[in-house]
Amino acid sequence: MKRDMEIPFVDLHKQYLSLKKEIDSAISDVIRDTAFIRGSYVQGFEQEFAKNYGVKHCIPVANGTDAIYIALKMLGVGMGDEVITTAHSWISTSETIVQTGAKPVFVDTDDYFTIDAVQIVEKITSNTKAIIPVHLYGQPCDMGRIMSIAQKYNLYVVEDCAQAHYAKWNGKRVGTIGNVGTFSFYPGKNLGAYGDAGAILTNDEQLAEKMRMFANHGALKKHHHEINGINSRMDGIQAAILSAKLPYIREWTQARQQVASWYDQKLAGLNNIKIPNRRDNADHVFHLYVIKTPARDEVRMELKKKDIDTVIHYPTALPFLEAYHDMNHQISDYKKAHQDSLEILSLPIYPELTENQVNYIVEALHNIV
């Protein structure tokens, strides 16, 4: 086997080189203006992002985890409440529910790695306050069904969009459908900073004000601490970098979708490899391209021998993490999420990945299975 290629799982440096001038000057502007925390660059990004999404309010925060926590907390979620979410996500989704004092109630997944909306109703109790759909891997959830359940049972909807920047469901951007959309700008995300950063979008003015206050030590005006808050702010440098990158997000999203369709075509029909299902009526932005294979661990090892990096997102479904051991979850209640956790494998995907590289990965997979 030829060894002419080494394919990292993500390649953030390649993107930096393509934008070096803009990024370097964004960083030095912030330093020149000593606008390190909050300030004009943060305000600039916040306005651009809200405008871009056609949403009234954007609250910049320290990271995507805080974004969920702040939203839940200001929606009044707390002790004695239950919040329904998917059994398959990154820990932030359930971790923040627990941080508020509420109980996470998990629902098994559907054929798209997202919450099975059909099973939500049977998990609703008189204590249920909110639903957190996670648009995992960049694929929108079944928002039609989720929103009608939320309306019928009077529940809040916090969309976790950490992996789904600019994805659309039924023509609408995810993050603008529920009460609140939360975003992460962790470096590897579809829109990534050079450190931690996050944001919350909403059209609800009162809620926006509360979230802004809570994230800023409970104050909208310096020294006027109206409530007990937290310190969750976006750095000026991160905001300036995000503003420099924002004009390219559409192009990058299309490039990711191109990579995904190369994989789809080239892997179609390959024995023992299942390409990801795409939901009708949804514009999947492919933060991750996740295949399923029963021989996952061997396939991963063989790819590694050919210098192809892969990752498992995530090796354990949320209900079965050690952190939730006391809740005594049964595999029979989360069959799909559990089975998926044994078979999923994320292949390299980023806007800069070339068709040549995809061919190399696909050829390696053909040789393995």
Match 């470096």 to its residue by tokens: 187
In the complex, least distance from residue 61 CB atom to ligand PLP, rounded to whole angstroms: 9
Closer to ligand PLP by CB, 46 or 360: give it.
46
In the complex, least distance from residue 145 CB atom to ligand PLP, rounded to whole angstroms: 20
Closer to ligand PLP by CB, 53 or 90: give it.
90
In the complex, least distance from residue 78 CB atom to ligand PLP, rounded to whole angstroms: 20
For residue 314, whether the previous peptide bond is cis, meaning omega lies within 30 degrees of 0, is yes
Work out the number of other CB atoms within 10 angstroms of the CB of residue 365.
24
Work out the number of other CB atoms within 10 angstroms of the CB of residue 304.
11
CA distance 49 to 85: 26
Closer to ligand PLP by CB, 64 or 175: give it.
64
In the complex, least distance from residue 239 CB atom to ligand PLP, rounded to whole angstroms: 14
- By CB neighbour count within 10 A (0-12 exposed, 13-18 middle, 19+ buried), where does 6 fall? exposed
Under the rule (CB under 6 A), what is the footprint of ligand PLP?
63-65, 89-90, 92-93, 134, 160, 162-163, 184, 186, 196, 198
Contact call for residues 120 and 149 (beta carbons, < 8 A): yes
CA distance 284 to 205: 29
CA distance 256 to 166: 12
Closer to ligand PLP by CB, 161 or 267: give it.
161
In the complex, least distance from residue 187 CB atom to ligand PLP, rounded to whole angstroms: 9
Q: Quick check: helix, strand or coil at residue 78? A: coil
